[in-house]
Chain A
Amino acid sequence: MAEVLIDKLCKSYGSAEILKDIDLKVEDGSFVVLVGPSGCGKSTLLRCIAGLEPISAGGMTIGGRQVKNLPPAKREIAMVFQSYALYPHMDVKGNMAFGLRFAGTPKAEIEARVAEAARILQLEPLLKRRPRELSGGQRQRVAIGRAIVRKPQVFLFDEPLSNLDAALRINTRVEIAKLHKLLNATIVYVTHDQVEAMTLADKIVVMNKGRIEQAGKPLDLYYKPANLFVAGFIGSPAMNFLEGHVTGSGRVEAAGSGLTLRLPSSCKPGDKVTLGVRPEHMNLGAAPGPLLQAQVDLIERLGETGYAHLRLPTGQVVISEVRGEPGHVTGDSISVGFDPVRCHIFDAAGRRIE
């Protein structure tokens, strides 16, 4: 296994700059997840690592080797595509052995590696089937098997679970996590799914418009988002943002009410700030901290928990988690509170204030 170092990578198609100054370190044996809105360049970055797209500027090393000008085959990477990209005219075994055959691997070695991968992925009974005779989850496992047999330095996954149904997705997610432990593999993984990102990653990289907004441990991103974009992107439902301004030392006026918070001394009265509160840190009724007046717009019940959509006097809608059976109905006037310690504060430029 090897580490991947990306240094000031830029990528443009013609005049369109898709990736700008990407600096990223993927530690040896770590699981890095790329997340971001659609079109932000996640797949492009992954394809640049794979060598399927030439990079416009910057450099990249895999295991200490400069790979900028190497074709995919020479980079010792394996890629798992969203569409699986299995060769339809070969059986499962053929699919897994295909790359090795051309690499000149001895026959016995190929057999051994395919058997090993089939054992790990429980594909043994399926080795003689064609891809079209497999279910989605089985195809996905074959695609992963094809990557494993090559014993690559780095595994690249592009939304590998997005074609699976919800139950299978959870299963396969667990499988991938186990596989990572088992192979001690370096993995770069692209996903849209928050849960996948939070559960699988050693490091999450949040991308937006071709730049990295923040990279860090999942919980660091959750508890200490570096800016408004990351704060809004990580967590579901998304964090509530309240526009406000500083009125005095430690006092903020936001959402039509005055709140007392602990603000760092750098905040001057009159500064614009944005408060961020996650739905799971809000409480209907009694709360340890500041209270806001609101009207219930809608309550979504998911079972144990639910989400209340609340309209503030300013017209803004915030979402609060509710536990148990709330006695409220649409139109009720209630007060909602939050713990000031769990409130994130961002300055006018959207950066986090500690």
Chain B
Amino acid sequence: MRKPASAIAVHAILGLYTVLALFPIVLVVMNSFKAKRAIFNTPLQPPMPWNFDPIGYAKVFGDSAITSYYLNSLVVTTGTIFMTLLFGAMAAWALTEYKFRWNTLLALYLSIGIMVPIRLGSVAIIQLVSDLNMINTLSALVLVYTAQSLPLSIFILSEFIAQIPKDLREAGRCDGLTEFHIFFYIVLPLIRPAMATVAVFTMIPVWNDLWFPLLLAPTNGKQTITLGVQQFLGQYITDWNAVLAALSTAIIPVLILYVIFSRQLIRGLTSGAVK
């Protein structure tokens, strides 16, 4: 048993960290419900009857474009998660399970993606996407984000797949399963926690990214929400009510996705530690 004193210390540190991490978020959410004057005069005051003003939300939800930006973000993020998980797991399985000629070389090549940030290739990516006539399409974003997320997910999923006992795959083979059956019915269910982990940290940078939406899909109603919010940030006037409301609502979809994955995620983080 841990001593109570050190337990208190640990909880105090964790509590402090939580407060620090939550402070800006709470600030944004609180102020999104306030009138413009109250935001600037008393930024730390929670919304009260006398300064309450949902004008920001009215603007955000009244603007049909914003709703479609949300949808764009959602499509791009879920599309990326799906492609990353599917191809990442398949590649990880192939690299760990099958011995073929260029195995090690291929694994090395893929891990270069972990070390070199994809943004270095922005110019080439723009050229490629425009040559493919895919500027202002969500597919372009999904493809780029999948490429960005694959290296690390392959790396992590390989580690987990390697931990699946060899006997299990061979039992599957003796049971008459094809390699695809083994992958979909034995390997995938067993690395679910790892996939949830990968899904969460694939999702967050993609959802928050401003760079590639700006480069690849900046107009034509294909903006993602992070880019869409920029329309409220003008050169001369900034509509703070709308910005704060849009940011607050932007938290919700990731939060929902996170909750979906988190049950698996927590198991994923501890299962490595216990073994």
Contact = CB atoms under 8 A, between A and B. Distances in A.
Interface of A: 50, 52, 71-73, 77-79, 81-89, 98-99, 102-103, 146, 150
A78 to B, nearest CB: 6
Contact of A73 (B165, B173, B189): B173
B176 interface: yes
A69 to B, nearest CB: 15
B170 interface: yes
B247 interface: no
Interface of B: 165, 167-168, 170-178, 181, 185-186, 189-190
Nearest to A83: B167
A72 B172 CA distance: 10
B175 A102 contact: yes
B171 A85 contact: yes
B167 A99 contact: no
Given A89-B189, A89-B190, A83 B165 contact: yes
A298 B168 CA distance: 47
A150 B167 contact: no
Given A83-B165, A85-B170, A73 B175 contact: yes
A339 B90 CA distance: 68
A85 B177 CA distance: 15
A122 to B, nearest CB: 22
Contacts of B175: 73, 98-99, 102, 146, 150
Given A50-B170, A73-B176, A85-B168, 17 more contacts: A52-B170, A72-B173, A73-B173, A73-B175, A73-B177, A77-B174, A79-B174, A81-B167, A81-B170, A81-B171, A85-B167, A86-B171, A87-B168, A87-B186, A88-B190, A98-B175, A146-B175
Judged by DSSP, the binding face of A is: loop
Contacts of A73: 173-177
Contacts of A146: 171, 175
Chain B interface helix/strand/loop/mixed = helix
B171 A71 contact: no
Nearest to B170: A52
Contacts of B186: 87
A88 B176 CA distance: 18
A76 to B, nearest CB: 10
B176 A103 contact: yes
Nearest to A84: B167
16 contacts: A50-B174, A71-B173, A72-B173, A73-B173, A73-B176, A73-B177, A78-B174, A79-B170, A79-B174, A81-B171, A82-B167, A85-B165, A85-B171, A99-B174, A99-B175, A150-B175
Contacts of B173: 52, 71-73
A99 B182 CA distance: 11
Contacts of B168: 85, 87
Nearest to B189: A89
A38 to B, nearest CB: 18
Nearest to B168: A85
A135 B258 CA distance: 36
A79 B168 CA distance: 11
A78 B173 CA distance: 10
Nearest to B176: A73
A102 B165 contact: no
B165 A99 contact: no
B176 A99 contact: yes
> What are the 4 closest A-B residue pairs judged by CB atoms, nearest first?
A99-B175, A73-B176, A85-B167, A85-B171
Contacts of A88: 190
Contacts of B165: 83, 85
**Residue with the greatest number of chain A CB neighbours at <10 A, chosen from B175, B178, B186:** B175
A146 B170 CA distance: 14
Contacts of B189: 89
B62 to A, nearest CB: 48
A77 B174 CA distance: 7
B206 to A, nearest CB: 29
Contacts of A86: 171
B145 to A, nearest CB: 30
A98 B173 CA distance: 12
A102 B167 contact: no
B176 A102 contact: yes
Contacts of A82: 167
A162 to B, nearest CB: 14
Contact of B177 (A52, A84, A99): A99
Nearest to A79: B174
Nearest to A143: B171
B271 to A, nearest CB: 12
Contacts of B177: 73, 99, 102
Contacts of A72: 170, 173-174, 176
A71 B170 CA distance: 11
A180 B89 CA distance: 41
Contacts of A103: 176
A132 to B, nearest CB: 13
A50 B176 CA distance: 12
